[in-house]
Chains A and B, each alone.
Chain A
Amino acid sequence: DIQMTQSPSSLSASVGDRVTITCRASQSISSYLNWYQQKPGKAPKLLIYAASSLQSGVPSRFSGSGSGTDFTLTISSLQPEDFATYYCQQSYSTPPEFTFGPGTKVDIK
């Protein structure tokens, strides 16, 4: 089974800050890595798919990079609406496991 880890587990940041979240897979997953944002009481929202492709309608301040085992999600200038929990997810396994990372909570400093 492929295990996913994220760091940090939480962070405090201010509006306007550049924020980077890291996701690591226990084995190579090529570029089969997706990022989601979840706000309290709401369903997750797809931000980035295939490691670096921006989902339609998602602001360009969000970007993703990486391949193999190491990936990053970057928010170039944090906005008030970006305070949320972020999850990475691998979609490489066959048969599918769709393993999620444990999440990174971004809150207000």
Chain B
Amino acid sequence: IAGITQAPTSQILAAGRRMTLRCTQDMRHNAMYWYRQDLGLGLRLIHYSNTAGTTGKGEVPDGYSVSRANTDDFPLTLASAVPSQTSVYFCASSEGPSNEQFFGPGTRLTVL
């Protein structure tokens, strides 16, 4: 693989269910990010990780959790999904604060 992969591509989920979105990068980037994209709002940062073993909250962290056990993987978990979490989720990575972020293809999540 090259770049960032996300899984699943899309998912329909019942409200109240737990869901983990997967993100893997093979560029050995230190920093990784999760965004959600909603019409007219652009991308909003959910959580980020500057390096393996550390995470931080972004603009819209409520209802989401992340972990960063190693450099390559950065899963995003919805503990109990709600309809307002229906969105397209993008994972990204970068080498550092002044470098461009590389984006994965996205996961389209629908919560009913």
Partners in one complex: no
Binding site for A on B (CB under 8 A): none
Binding site for B on A (CB under 8 A): none
